[in-house]
Structure 1
Amino acid sequence: MNLDQQNWWSKFLTDEKGVILDVRTSDEVNRGKIPGSINIDIFKGQGFIYEVEELDKNKNYYVYCAAGARSANACNIMKELGFENAYNLVGGFSEWTGPTE
């Protein structure tokens, strides 16, 4: 599900089962990230799928990348793997105005 920044962040803040997933490369993450996010690079291909399958499917995932395209793909992959709730951040980190570290 695609959510704009305000809805994505406010939904996450009130979600006891929320996890932020950053699907960018480690180089991108090193330039800044949303606090508390876990990183699994979607460009790892099959490695991405292996790592995602280790995640708890009972949690809700708030997924982002740089602009929103890779995270949309990641949400689709996660749905195929049986994750019920994966929310894509429209506009990605490049348009993010919330907290960063």
Structure 2
Amino acid sequence: MVDLTQEEWAEQLKNDENAVVLDVRTDEEVEEGYIPNAIQIDIYKGQGFLDEIEELDKSKNYYVYCRSGKRSAQACMLMNQAGFENTNNLLGGFMEWEGEVAED
């Protein structure tokens, strides 16, 4: 797992053709907005979260975020244990995100 600042995250994501953005927040949090093209898998689902990440492509580079950066760090660790090699945690999370935001 690599902890990335907002600037590092945005820069790497822009130049990474193998990137997947993963939002580990709750449905209610996602309704407030999300980073474009993010896949949402709520880490609070417990075993459901683990089951869903097992279906993801482990060869991709994952950019993981939550509200503040704590749950996403946990998610990265769980993903690393499950065999994902490239996970990046967004420091400060969505609360400090200054990039593009999408809303449904």
TM-score by length of 2: 0.96
**Percent sequence identity over matched residues?**
56
Question: In structure 2, how many angstroms separate the alpha carbons of the residues matched to 1:24 and 1:73?
Answer: 12
Question: What residue is the counterpart of 2:3 in the other structure?
Answer: 2
Question: In structure 2, how many angstroms separate the alpha carbons of the residues matched to 1:97 and 1:8?
Answer: 11
Q: Number of aligned residue pairs: give it.
A: 101
**Alignment gaps of 5+ in structure 1:** none
Question: In structure 2, how many angstroms separate the alpha carbons of the residues matched to 1:13 and 1:27?
Answer: 27
Q: Deviations over 1:26-81 (max 9, x none)?
A: 00001100010000000000000000000000100000000000000000000000
SS at match of 2:63: strand
**Structure 1 runs of 4+ off > 2 angstroms?**
none
Q: What is the root-mean-square deviation of aligned Cα atoms in Å?
A: 0.4
Within a 5 Å distance, the mapping from 1:62-81 to structure 2 comes to 62-81=63-82
SS at match of 1:88: strand
TM-score by length of 1: 0.99
User: Quick one: which amino acid aligns to residue 18 of structure 1?
Assistant: A
